[in-house]
Amino acid sequence: MTPFTSLTGIAAPMPLVNIDTDMIIPKQFLKTIQRTGLGKNLFDEMRYTPDGREIPDFVLNREPWRRAEILIAGANFGCGSSREHAPWALLDFGIRCVIAPSFADIFHGNCFKNGILPVTLPQAAVDHLMEDAQKGANARITVNLPEQTVTASDGTVFAFEIDPFRKHCLLHGLDDIGLTLEKAAAIDAYEARLKAERPWV
């Protein structure tokens, strides 16, 4: 998993509440277990017409937000089903951070496991960043995980809280497998001892 430290990038404004996981990646794209290739179908039903043409006024179909690395959204982002394909699709598109007033619990946890930083801020702060993001390429937002701050293009700084363990995992690029491998030496020692003590197992 790619570590997350500090990110300065274009933020796409999506002033919608209750963006659920079926909006993020519709159910027909859940057949794969690969984490790559889903970015083209991110927000599929909002990005494309039924015959596959881009909808011109959707934010991710417009410059400069086609290159967005940060998403500013409304409350209860990621509600609905628990599909892990939702953060996979965001990450494959290039989104490394989602900022919203609140997140659905399972989606929130899945983000951390896949290298995406979900930042929870008060509504007033999100409104400020939403307005900032609408300025486009001239309004780059900085998200600093070590300092736990989000800085708008006008220099306004917003502090956010994060669980220390999840912060550690993101900073060091540790998913569940990476955390287990950190204990590889202890696991090997345990298995060697078990083999010596109980060779019949």
pLDDT tens-digit readout, 35-45:
789 999 999 99
Q: What is the mean pLDDT of residues 53-69?
A: 96
pTM given for the model: 0.89
pLDDT averaged over every residue in the chain: 92
3-state SS class at 16:
coil
Q: Which residues of 171-185 are buried (b: 16+ CB within 10 A; e: fewer)?
A: eeebeeeeeeeeeee
pLDDT of residue 177: 65
The angle formed by the CA atoms of residues 166, 123 and 92, to the nearest 5 degrees, is 50
CATH class of 6-175: alpha beta
pLDDT of residue 178: 65
pLDDT higher than threshold 80 for residue 192: no
φ, ψ of residue 78 to 5 degrees: the values are: 85, 20
pLDDT of residue 190: 67
pLDDT higher than threshold 70 for residue 181: no
Q: How many other C-beta atoms lie within 10 A of the C-beta of residue 151? A: 17
Evaluate whether 87 touches 104 at the Cβ level (below 8 Å): no
Would you kindly state where each structural domain of the chain is located, as residue ranges?
6-175
Tens of pLDDT, residue by residue over 70-126, are 999 999 999 998 899 999 999 999 999 999 999 999 999 999 999 999 999 999 999
Q: Burial, 22: exposed, middle or buried (Cβ in 10 Å; 0-12, 13-18, 19+)?
A: middle
pLDDT of residue 124: 98
